[in-house]
Structure 1
């Protein structure tokens, strides 16, 4: 069995049309997301695209999260991001309920730039406890390059880490937009993933939260491929003296999990050799940025299963870890073949978190 931990929602245009209403009104009014029957949802070209993508990839179950660049964390006022992400999570919950053998939900946290992370926690609890989601997407830079959000080793994030441990769900680190950064939208992902790893493993986070489960997107950004630099820095007399973790940099890396969305056999083989097959989880981000054809292989770049199969050094146990076993360990709420447990609440009852307390309900 293959569990793809990194997938994003292909949503109906009706959902994005609703966003324009939220943006135009600055989420002042209680306009709900557009209603959609189960039959309509199944008939959408966007739903068929999600299904076709995982079928072509050989995936049995894909964990679906919002499309990162549409999470709108930098929009003002912050209630726009709250209401939008609550609505998208409801849409994902419905799709997972209709197709429970193919999809499970990864919720998008409403993380308006400049707000305490505590404002995201009601939506996290709703998604996990009521809607049957199995984890969350964590944006390390909701300000989109404005350099105002503390790094992930900072105590700013501790309320979220505490809640993740309480719920026993992992956070999948994935940046979103890049309004203010120096790099492009694509390079912003790599930059933020690299910063997230270095901040986490050079902090007290894993001492204070030993049960915390973090997945880093896209093979860990640049860190695994610049590992010599970080090994050397860890051994520098000043760093070694003041470092909270009395272990090597390689040991610290193994406190984190990494997905396979790298699009290169050589890079993927290097990652697995560095951190071990028990720390790598299968992901494709398909459909996504890797849908272009690779002229060297004749396959799309996001045909990640073919890359895993082509690495001769992997044992059957290694492949089983990457394809399924690690995901099972990371996502204890993922049930049997079908992904998420039965939904307890109404996915369309979307405004029950921070948005409701701000008095902007229906």
Structure 2
């Protein structure tokens, strides 16, 4: 079986009309849930499944498209409604095609608000809608420079809840309102999140916390030498010991294969191990014709057990609700 752990909502453009109404009328318009009929959402799901069939994918874990989640928008009530609309749309598709689509929930994170504002939607998505995981944006300020690092105690109530519920988090930025585009912002924030987490005691405090870093882990596996050198310099370790220590902590995270070149895939697996990598394509998304990752992986000369771990086993280990 092939489980694609990184996919985003395929929906008719009409879903965005709900935002236009909410932005125009503010909190007085309500949560325009009914803008897109269920039949249209299911038709979109079938288009998504046709794309899966073209490349041999059996199941996709579908989440909202992150860059339109509006986490920095005010007032926060609109963010809550907007994210809930997208989670509801995914739930319609997952309920209609449960053997092909499973939900990963957006969280209504809000710039400047306590992280606990997401708890009600987290509970609803997992317990009522049957989702298997969540998206976690390390920068709800969307580039304004005010978001706390992932090592900050700001995040601890959410980490505690995710660990308690055994809910994995796909660490994925939303939009960006400053000089870089959202793809540049994704890679930058993923890299910053990893370095922040690895220098902290987060995984000592929350040993059951499961975080997946998409897009191959930002820049970190490919700049490993710099971080190993940093480790050795400041901890007085020889290069071999520093590498072992750093990679050991890096393997507390999970990674996905949204990289789109065999060279990058080979390097990622060589650094973190096939047992920490989940198959992901983001199809349809930013890969733009490079999203057929399966033959790239098959061409790397990996053992069959490693391939099966990447294609299915690791996803089932992380996303226990898939069962």
TM-score range, shorter chain: over 0.9
Counterpart of 2:292? 303
C-alpha distance in 2 between matches for 1:169 and 1:155: 19
Contact in 2 for aligned 1:171/1:214 (Cα 8 Å): yes
1:318 to 306, 311, 317: 306
Contact in 1 for aligned 2:18/2:35 (Cα 8 Å): no
Contact in 2 for aligned 1:215/1:257 (Cα 8 Å): yes
Deviation at 1:29?
A: 2.9
Deviation at 1:327?
A: 0.4
Deviation at 1:31?
A: 4.2
Secondary structure of the 2:191 match is: helix
Calculate the TM-score normalised by the size of structure 2: 0.95
Contact in 2 for aligned 1:286/1:302 (Cα 8 Å): yes
Q: Deviations over 1:318-353 (max 9, x none)?
A: 001000000000011012xxxxxxxxxxxxxxxxxx
Counterpart of 2:117? 119
Pairing 1:10–2:10 present: yes
Contact in 2 for aligned 1:14/1:34 (Cα 8 Å): no
1:168 to 166, 169, 184: 166
1:103 to 93, 101, 104: 101
Where is the helix percentage greater, Structure 1 or Structure 2? Answer: 2
| Count of aligned pairs between the two proteins | 319
C-alpha distance in 1 between matches for 2:110 and 2:88: 19
Q: Deviations over 1:151-188 (max 9, x none)?
A: 111111001101101110100011111102x3222111
Contact in 2 for aligned 1:74/1:113 (Cα 8 Å): yes
C-alpha distance in 2 between matches for 1:303 and 1:324: 16
Counterpart of 2:249? 252
Taking structure 1 as reference, are residues 83 and 239 closer, same or farther at Cα in structure 2, changes over 3 Å only? Answer: farther
Secondary structure of the 1:26 match is: helix
Counterpart of 1:199? 196
Contact in 1 for aligned 2:22/2:30 (Cα 8 Å): no
Secondary structure of the 1:137 match is: strand
Calculate the TM-score normalised by the size of structure 1: 0.85
Which structure has more relative contact order (CA 8 Å, sep 6+)? It is: 1
2:216 to 209, 219, 227: 219
Alignment of 1:1-362 (within 5 A): 1-34=1-34, 38-43=38-43, 46-180=44-178, 182-237=179-234, 248-291=245-288, 300-312=289-301, 314-335=302-323
Root mean square deviation of aligned Cα: 1.7
Taking structure 1 as reference, are residues 304 and 77 closer, same or farther at Cα in structure 2, changes over 3 Å only? Answer: same
Secondary structure of the 1:220 match is: coil
Contact in 1 for aligned 2:170/2:211 (Cα 8 Å): yes
Gaps of 5+ in 2: none
C-alpha distance in 2 between matches for 1:253 and 1:135: 21
C-alpha distance in 2 between matches for 1:173 and 1:332: 17
Contact in 1 for aligned 2:91/2:103 (Cα 8 Å): yes
Deviation at 1:238?
A: 5.3
Secondary structure of the 1:56 match is: helix
Contact in 2 for aligned 1:73/1:113 (Cα 8 Å): yes
